[in-house]
Amino acid sequence: MKSTRVIVDGGEIGPARDITRITAEATFFSPISSRLPSFTLRSALRPPFKTLSIHSRRSPHNHACRGPGWTQAWFTCYNGRGKDGCDSLRILHSIVLDGWSAGSWYAVNLARRLDLLGHENLFVCRPNCRTRDEAAAAGLRIDDRFNLESKNPVRMAQNLGGLAGLMREWKPDVICAHWGEDHASWGIVKLLHGGRAPLVRVRSLDPKPPRAHLFSRWLHHRQTRLVIVTNSYLRKCYKERLGLADETVHVVPPGLDFAPFADLAPMPAHSSGFKAEHPTVGLVARFSPVKGHAVFFRAARLVADVIPQVRFVVAGFESELSAADIARMAKESGVIEQTEFITTRTGPSAPIIARFDVGVVSSVYSESVSRCLMEYLAAVVPAVATDVGGIPDLLAAGDFGILVPPRDADALARGVIELLRDRDRRLRLGEAGCEFIRTQRTWEKCAAQFACSLESVVKKKSWQVGFRVPCAGGKRDEKPDDD
């Protein structure tokens, strides 16, 4: 309230706290909210709105009021501006995904940076999951009452009613659905209950093309105002499979917190006995078939045949595959004696990556955001990466590494050998990649771009709220003004 500017008929009076009276056939005393209908004024002045514009018409519709001594005032509220230059928005993020994934990472980091840019965020997630814990650790406002993945009809009806109540209570400017179940649930809520907040689908988890069945087409064409994806491949899929127009599908790539990579010191080798003169090739990825560990180890065997002194580091955490599964792949490829395994990532990955001469992304699928590739580049490590997901977008932005076909161990090995044999090129590619991440792929830039995309679909950046207030003289006009 203290920071709200008040303008009457185009002239600024001053901060709301300094107003003692406004006369225009109506009298208001400070504080304003104690003299006017609280439901109207508090709705109009809820943060982050900065300007209250009062258009005082002399009894504009007095004969429509019930009883003498009333006039009508109109309050128009305009959004304040965030630090990103976009209108300040109230953004509801909905993601019911259990566990932790690239989609969760994108949603949490994005909401946190939007908060810092001056936007107000509410993070709707399921209870007792890592996504919820990470959102809480980031200082986000959380509502964890809903589990939208439930298939119980009673629970589903309760969820839809709860979401409708949340929308009425919190009054978001826009709703961002980060997961398929969220998107479907909010689409149904919009159909049944309406609401002015546009629905935006955010796809950052995997590059799987959208389904084109009847419900999906209805959901995207009738209930969804905008689709935000993290790479151009997904944008192409949405346009081709669902027939969405160019202006309804935006690409907002993820960012990276560069601070851990500034003045980076490499993590000491563990018990492997690796020496500094051993060139090191690394892979950082969760233990999952889509990450292509089997392809990596086949390529590692080919690299070791040409450069015997090479060493390999495989870091990650257990997911669909166990640490024993990964070790067995290395043993079957004959490189287990040359490989160091880091099977927990309780600490930052930056010191691990700093030991690499070449970083590898061997994924056969996924990589919608490719966080590890961005971390390689931030650590001044050139990369050999497969042509999947958002990787082509990142490597096409500059000369940062070598792009190879997925599932092609021979091509992957050739790329690694080529970089290991050319130290000057490695340094050139690494420095170029680091500069690109530091200047172009920060979370602040990502959040600003995301906010401006949302602003493009939030139509009503201003509106009017009308109510009756007592006239100063207790009289009512005979006729309304012509205007």
What is the CATH classification number for the domain harbouring 319?
A: 3.40.50.2000
Q: How many C-beta atoms lie closer than 10 Å to residue 466's C-beta?
A: 12
- 15/115 same-domain check: no
Summarize pLDDT for 390-439 with one digit per residue, the tens: 999 999 887 899 999 999 999 999 999 999 999 999 999 999 999 999 99
pLDDT at 26: 33
| For the chain, percent of residues with pLDDT exceeding 90 | 59
- 299/432 same-domain check: yes
Identify which has the larger pLDDT, 366 or 89. Answer: 89
Summarize pLDDT for 305-351 with one digit per residue, the tens: 999 999 999 999 898 999 999 999 999 999 999 999 998 655 568 88
Mean pLDDT over each residue of the chain, to the nearest integer: 79
pLDDT at 84: 56
Tokens encoding 361 = 């992304």
**Which segment of 29-33, 235-239, 261-265, 290-294 scores lowest on mean pLDDT?**
29-33
Q: What are the φ and ψ backbone dihedral angles of 361, each rounded to 5 degrees?
A: -120, 110
pLDDT at 12: 47
- 430/312 same-domain check: yes
Does residue 452 lie in a domain region? no
Does residue 450 lie in a domain region? no
Tell me the mean pLDDT in the region 150-159. Answer: 88
Query: pTM for the complete prediction?
Result: 0.76
Does residue 140 lie in a domain region? yes
Angle in degrees, CA 237, 224, 367, rounded to 5: 35
Q: Which of 226, 255, 284 is the last residue of a domain?
A: 255
Residue 268: closest CA among 343, 346, 330, 342 = 342
Tell me the mean pLDDT in the region 16-44. Answer: 35
- 56/113 same-domain check: no
Q: Which of 223, 255, 287 is the last residue of a domain?
A: 255
Residue 34 has pLDDT above 60, yes or no: no
Identify which has the larger pLDDT, 361 or 398. Answer: 361
Does residue 482 lie in a domain region? no
- 272/339 same-domain check: yes
Q: Hey, is 118 helix, strand or coil?
A: coil
How far apart CA 95 and CA 463 sit, in angstroms, is 30
Does residue 480 lie in a domain region? no
- 70/132 same-domain check: no
Does residue 143 lie in a domain region? yes
- 365/283 same-domain check: yes
The answer to whether 201 touches 227, Cβ cutoff 8 Å, is yes
The answer to whether 78 touches 53, Cβ cutoff 8 Å, is yes
User: What range does the domain containing 103 cover?
Assistant: 90-255
- 164/182 same-domain check: yes
Count how many domains the chain has.
3
Q: Which of 228, 255, 282 is the last residue of a domain?
A: 255
- 286/428 same-domain check: yes
Contacts 24+ apart (CB under 8 A), 260-267: 260/348, 260/350, 261/350, 261/375, 261/378, 261/379, 261/434, 261/437, 264/350, 264/351, 264/354, 264/379, 264/380, 265/351, 265/354, 266/351, 266/354, 266/355, 267/351, 267/352, 267/354, 267/355
Tell me the mean pLDDT in the region 74-90. Answer: 57
Does residue 224 lie in a domain region? yes
- 115/185 same-domain check: yes
- 227/186 same-domain check: yes
Does residue 481 lie in a domain region? no
Tell me the mean pLDDT in the region 244-268. Answer: 85
pLDDT at 93: 97
- 403/269 same-domain check: yes
Q: How large is the angle between the packed helices 423-440 and 409-420, nearest 10 degrees?
A: 100
